Amino acid sequence: MLPVADALALILAQAAPLPPVTVTLAAAQGRILAADILAQDALPPFPASVKDGYAVVAADGPGDYPVVGAATAGRLPTFTVMPGTVAYITTGAPLPAGADAVVMVEETEPLAGDPQRVRIRARVQSRADVRPIGYDVAAGAMVLPAGTRLGPAEIGILATVGEVEVPVYPQPKVALLSTGDELVDPGQPLRPGQIRDSNRATLRAVVAAAGGEPVDLGIARDDQADLDARIRAGLSAADMLVTSGGVSMGELDYVKTLLETAGVVHFGRLRMKPGKPLTFATVAAGGRVRLAFGLPGNPVSSLVTFYLLGVPALRKLAGWPDPHLKRIRVFLAQPLPLDSYRPEYHRAILAWDAQADDGRGGLVAHSTGNQASSRLLSMRSANALLELPQGEGILPVGAAVSALLIGEL
């Protein structure tokens, strides 16, 4: 049985970023940039006022001055501020020729009965409250390196440098197949012996949340021909194929057998709880390597193994430079027993506690309760998988453990 860290390293070595595509800014959210972005021009492209106030010659100092014009945002002033004069100016407006500083309006006073003149009360240094050319972005500067994940700020940066079509890695297509004679679609009536298929709905949601594009392959019966047809369809339609069920010892192991004929099976069992039966294979199709995961059927096992191995694989295809789940240190809110045979991924809800870590404050992990691999409720609201080492005994309250983040804190 392979340790999870080794399995993950092996999978990531097989996963290569997909060929980049071009998308509009509106579709770029969450994508990874595939090329460096340089600023074509400077921002601001002209010396701009930081405040509403008066453009002045700094050396003139405080005093009463004639106002020779108004510089407002969006147009270049046509007048010059000679020594001994000032001009009204608004935030973001180009500084008129001759002026070298701005005095904010709060440091000035209108002169009663003389609207053409103003009293300047403050003495300012040359360049005060002026953003010089290129202050925010220098012309030619690299504003976003390849590999950057595009969130709101990055999309704003692309807009400000005028890049409206950007090279990004595509959203990986992930084909999802449930297997089992007992499964019915959630909208259908349940006959004796049947249960509803929850894995496809769960996996569709986690694939979408991770930035992939789910492709639905339906439910395959425990029948070689049905499985074969659907798995082949999935491998040609998607970058990643994810099946659930039909890989445990009691089953006929159809999935693994089929993947062995279609490509190369790299491993079939993992040293972890929940979910030790897990087949990972690579299959060449359409000139590219497709990744295939045969996940265990139990709802918790399939979701936990998908978080641990499927999400990083999906991120690697989507161009993430570091595709790993984030790992942090947390403190136990209750004692947790260790498993003497396998490392365990215990589902937990993390919350900040100012008293944790001897009053320094820290994230405390609250167990979701009964950790049976069939009990999907043990994943409800969980935002972390606690990495409990294989061992004897019980970890006490307050013990520090590492946790992998699977949701928002």
Residues 169-208 contacting ligand AMP, CB under 6 A:
178, 180, 182-183, 195, 197-199
Q: Which residues pair with 76 in a beta bridge?
A: none
Least spacing, CB of residue 255 vs ligand AMP, in Å: 9
**Choice from 17, 20, 297, 319 touching ligand AMP (CB under 6 A):** 297
CA-only gyration radius of the chain, Å: 31
Least spacing, CB of residue 35 vs ligand AMP, in Å: 40
Total number of residues that touch ligand AMP (CB under 6 A): 18
User: Does 279 interact with ligand AMP (rule: CB under 6 A)?
Assistant: no
User: Does 339 interact with ligand AMP (rule: CB under 6 A)?
Assistant: no
Task: Report the C-alpha gap between 407 and 302 in whole angstroms.
Answer: 17
**Choice from 245, 277, 296, 362 touching Mg ion (CB under 5 A):** 245
Q: Residue 390 binds which one of ligand AMP, Mg ion, none, with CB within 5 to 8 A depending on kind?
A: none
Least spacing, CB of residue 270 vs Mg ion, in Å: 18
User: Does 246 interact with ligand AMP (rule: CB under 6 A)?
Assistant: yes
Least spacing, CB of residue 364 vs ligand AMP, in Å: 31
Environment class of 60 (CB within 10 Å of its CB; exposed 0-12, middle 13-18, buried 19+):
middle
- Of the candidate spans 79-87, 291-299, 324-332, 350-358, the one that interacts with Mg ion by CB under 5 A turns out to be 291-299
Least spacing, CB of residue 250 vs ligand AMP, in Å: 6
Q: Which is nearer to ligand AMP, 248 or 402 (CB)?
A: 248
Least spacing, CB of residue 196 vs ligand AMP, in Å: 7
**Residues 290 and 239: beta-carbon distance below 8 Å:** yes
CA angle 25, 26, 31 (to 5 degrees): 70
Least spacing, CB of residue 178 vs ligand AMP, in Å: 4
User: Does 305 interact with ligand AMP (rule: CB under 6 A)?
Assistant: no
Q: Residue 244 binds which one of Mg ion, ligand AMP, none, with CB within 5 to 8 A depending on kind?
A: ligand AMP
One-letter amino acid for residue 389 of the chain: P
Cα–Cα distances in angstroms (integers) from residue 189 to residues 180, 184, 299, in the given order: 16, 8, 20
Environment class of 164 (CB within 10 Å of its CB; exposed 0-12, middle 13-18, buried 19+):
exposed
DSSP string computed for 356-368: TTTTT-EEEEEE-
Task: Report the C-alpha gap between 225 and 255 in whole angstroms.
Answer: 11
Q: Residue 198 binds which one of Mg ion, ligand AMP, none, with CB within 5 to 8 A depending on kind?
A: ligand AMP
**Choice from 17, 20, 94, 180 touching Mg ion (CB under 5 A):** 180
Residues 6+ apart with CB under 8 A from 360: none
Total number of residues that touch Mg ion (CB under 5 A): 4
- Of the candidate spans 230-238, 241-249, 329-337, 357-365, the one that interacts with ligand AMP by CB under 6 A turns out to be 241-249
User: Does 214 interact with ligand AMP (rule: CB under 6 A)?
Assistant: no
Helices of type H across 125-223:
152-160, 199-209
Residue 301 backbone dihedrals phi, psi, to 5 degrees: -60, -45
Dihedral angle sign, alpha carbons of residues 110, 112, 114, 115: positive
**Choice from 299, 310, 312, 323 touching ligand AMP (CB under 6 A):** 299
Dihedral angle sign, alpha carbons of residues 55, 59, 63, 67: negative
Interface pattern 41-80 for ligand AMP (x via CB under 6 A) = ----------------------------------------
User: Does 323 interact with Mg ion (rule: CB under 5 A)?
Assistant: no
Number of Cα atoms under 13 Å in the Cβ half of residue 62 = 6
Question: Where is 68: in which H helix or E strand?
Answer: strand 63-71
Q: Which is nearer to ligand AMP, 374 or 402 (CB)?
A: 374
Q: Which is nearer to ligand AMP, 102 or 219 (CB)?
A: 219
**Residues 273 and 1: beta-carbon distance below 8 Å:** no
- Strand 264-271 and strand 2-3: pairing? parallel
- Which candidate, 211, 216, 221, places its Cα nearest to that of 313? 211
Per CB under 5 A, residues contacting Mg ion are: 180, 245-246, 297
Per CB under 6 A, residues contacting ligand AMP are: 178, 180, 182-183, 195, 197-199, 244-248, 251, 296-299
